Amino acid sequence: MMHIFIPSKGRPYPKTAKLLDEAGVPYTLFVEPQEAEVYRLKAKSNLIVIDKNDMGVSYVRQQILKHAKNQEIGWFWMLDDDITGLYSYSQKEGKLVKDDTAKVLKEAFSQASKTPGLVIAGLDFRQFAWSHKGKDVENTHVCACVLINAEEGWFLKYPEHLMEDKAICLDAVSAGYKTVRYTRWAFATPPMGSGDGGCQALDDRGAEMKKAVEGLLGKFGPEVITPVFKEKLGWWDCRINWKSVRG
């Protein structure tokens, strides 16, 4: 059985939920107390209300991870709430083609669950995946469309800052476990900031991203983390030397 959890805020019937409903795939939304009623009016699936409001995306991801561990769930999907489609790489056509949602999720789950030592897997963004021609990228970070092995990854914990996906993948690889980004499957989302809602307000992102980079730099050091300021976006990011993490 596949467990699919979606953190959501400000989008009572989010794009990912619509995509899964159309495919007949069950899922559970995780929402804040202040939005529980409006989600109940529009949601077509299970709903879990977390304990606090306005704590940001890292907090709700940790609540989902905690829920999975408490329920003794092994593997589960954690999907962002604005996914509009899933794709597979066609060797025949030499490109990504839109595919059946349930089929993609099941194939990726099957591949991940039989890989020893793998605790985090995920699909690539459609705009990046095509260039890899279906080749997996191992021991790196994944985000937005992620599979987590909560049983073997019992030690995993999301940090109290942004770049939470990078942080948790860094923890996994530095502990000797595996992560993988599948490029034979991919997902599509709207451009960042182009829609309403989301678990982290964009006007908070500048200061929060700087804080996150400082946190990663302090934990993993300059040999692993290189701060990078993205002028077009107006906030800090970082490059990760994954070879140094892997040893």
Q: Distance from first CA to last CA of the chain, Å, rounded?
A: 35
pLDDT at position 158: 96
Handedness of CA 109, 172, 47, 162 (dihedral sign): negative
CA-wise closest residue to 7 among 55, 79, 70: 79
Q: For residues 1 and 168, give the distance between their C-alpha atoms in angstroms, rounded to a whole number.
A: 25
96-129 pLDDT, tens digit per residue, is: 999 999 999 999 999 999 999 999 999 999 999 9
pLDDT of 247 higher than 70: no
Identify whether the C-beta of residue 143 lies closer than 8 Å to the C-beta of residue 77: no
Q: For residues 205 and 17, give the distance between their C-alpha atoms in angstroms, rounded to a whole number.
A: 25
Mean pLDDT throughout 53-72?
A: 96
State which H helix or E strand residue 205 sits in. Answer: helix 202-220
Residue 5 banded pLDDT, cuts 50, 70, 90: very high
176-235 pLDDT, tens digit per residue, is: 999 999 999 999 999 765 556 555 555 567 788 899 999 999 999 999 999 999 988 788
8-52 pLDDT, tens digit per residue, is: 999 999 999 999 999 999 999 999 999 999 999 988 779 999 999
